[in-house]
Amino acid sequence: MHCPNCGQETEGGKFCTSCGAQLPNDEYAAAADPTINTPPQVQPTIQHEQTEQTRQSNESVEKLKTAGSNFGHFFVTLLKSPSEAKKANSNDLISSIATMVIFSLLIALGLHLFMSSFSSLVSESIPSGFFGGVSEPSISFFDSFVLPLIEFIILFLVVAALTFAGVKFSAQALTFTDVLSKYGAYQVPFLLLYAAGFLFALIGLTSLSIFLIMISMFGLIFIIPTIILHEQPAKGFDRIYVLLGIYFINLLLFSFFIQSFAKTFLSVVIDGMGGMFGGF
């Protein structure tokens, strides 16, 4: 307690020990200094943090629901009328990217199943007594699935970027997000062709499967860029030369990815045939 007369700190009592002045009673001191005998206030921070986390979680769930609903409407619309892809713009970017990812997943799954079945075929095709037999070919999940998945996602993005470059050379009024959205939207019918080819391969209709898959790949590399560049009138370079440049670069990129797959394929063959000469 502080003496109101001299300002010195003094012990409790009726008179100040320094100057002898009469001290106020406890009720007056408590009124003068509200911090005396006042219990500390506990802030409800934990409850506030929990409320904030719940709100953020609900917002994330709502965003996922909205994105899923938009993709469903996007896919069904293009399934019924693929030509509606010309109306795609930056608002359809998430749905278009989802289509490209699904397409890449389906391609990677097809390659993985093909490599797995081929490795089993190699190990079973030659009897164990022939040149010591063949060893079980080994192929990693990364090489047969993850790597093709990443490569085809990159391929789609690069093809879309090249198409955007062609749009700029042709002096057309489209942004990169518009071109990327259109590229993903136009993939829907070719995705269905690839899915049909994938199913035909599973039931043993190899020739029809290869035919549909080749058409699908042809559409991704050549047809879609051509359609996008012909949506608007060209005011810059002639579209024929622009498309020829896009075709050439796309072929180089596609051949690079095919070469990568061929190396993986040959490694399986070499691993499997290695056991044939193990007996020598």
What residue ranges do the domains of the chain occupy? 88-277
The label of the residue with tokens 């892809």 reads 85
Measured CA distances, 143 to 112, 116, 135, 203, 275 (Å) = 9, 11, 19, 25, 22
19 near 2, Cβ under 8 Å?
no
In degrees, rounded to 5, the angle at the alpha carbon of residue 111 between the alpha carbons of residues 154 and 180 is: 25
Distance (Å, rounded) from C-alpha 135 to C-alpha 75?
45
pLDDT confidence tier of residue 209, bands split at 50, 70 and 90: very high
What tokens appear for 274 in the block?
Answer: 């290695």
| Locus of tokens 């990677």 | 108
Residue 121 pLDDT greater than 60, yes or no = yes
| Window from 29-38, 73-82, 172-181, 222-231 with minimum mean pLDDT | 29-38
Neighbours of 46 (CB within 10 A): 9
Tokens found for residue 196: 């049909």
Q: Is the pLDDT of residue 194 over 80?
A: yes
Spatial CB neighbours of 13, under 8 Å, sequence gap ≥ 6 = 23
